Amino acid sequence: MAQDDRYFYQPSEGHGLAHDPLNAIISPRPIGWISSRNGKGQRNLAPYSFFNCFNYTPPIIGFASTAWKDSVANIVETGEFVWNLTTRELAEKMNQTSAALPHGEDEFAFAGLTPAPSKLIGVDRVAESPVNFECKLTQCIQLKDANGQDIDTWLVLGEVIAVHIANHLIDDNGIYQTTLAEPIMRAGGPTAYYTVTEDNRFDLSRPVMPK
């Protein structure tokens, strides 16, 4: 493709399109379905599309929140949270938990989900989710722009200290089968999601460097 055959824009001056393409380009993105509680024990459950895994040992996951929302406030207060895998079967209920409920109202109850106690922390898991990570807060970082100015976005990082996996997702060889869970991911535009199927799989081996 010729270099002049490209749409060009500077984000600080606007993209000029019907919808910001950033989210569509960096996609699909795994969903951070984060459960937390405040110091009074009130539950919160919310999905974040800016989410990923950042380290193997110890395992570190994280999500970014635009504005200081209940999830961030709760996690900073208690130092704990749970990530719950979102599947195709749970997509609609996950979407319900994105509603802007009044402060303190329980998204578990609103979406018809079952809270299940964690093993090592005081935050409930989503019982219907086939995979849950119990996490301890490691860092909460306010992001900055290129000029060093603080922006109202917070990166929450946590160490995974306990993992719950539905047994049917692990095969006889002890390998987790990604597609059996039918995980969903956020894509571009205001409504688009995708799921992962075995039909989309391809394999690559890392190159072996010559001696």
Q: Mean pLDDT, 10 residues at a time, over the chain (211 residues)?
A: 79 90 86 97 96 96 96 98 98 96 91 98 98 98 97 98 97 95 90 91 90 82
Comparing CA positions, the residue from 116, 122, 111 lying closest to residue 164 is: 116
Class of domain 20-194: mainly beta
User: In the chain, where are the structural domains located?
Assistant: 20-194
The pLDDT assigned to 114 comes to 98
Q: Which residue reads 């999500």 in tokens? A: 63
User: Distance between CA 180 and CA 182 in Å, rounded?
Assistant: 5
Terminal CA-CA length for the chain: 36
Q: Give one DSSP letter per residue of 142-201, joined into a string.
A: EEE-TTS-EEEEEEEEEEEEEEEE-GGGB-TTS-B-GGGG-BEEE-STTT-EEE--GGG-
The pLDDT assigned to 2 comes to 56
The pLDDT assigned to 92 comes to 97
The pLDDT assigned to 3 comes to 63
The pLDDT assigned to 153 comes to 98
Q: Give one DSSP letter per residue of 86-124, joined into a string.
A: -BGGGHHHHHHTTS-PPTT--HHHHHT--EE--SSSSSP
The reported pTM is 0.93
The pLDDT assigned to 164 comes to 98
For 129, other C-beta atoms within 10 Å of its C-beta total 25
User: Distance between CA 63 and CA 85 in Å, rounded?
Assistant: 14
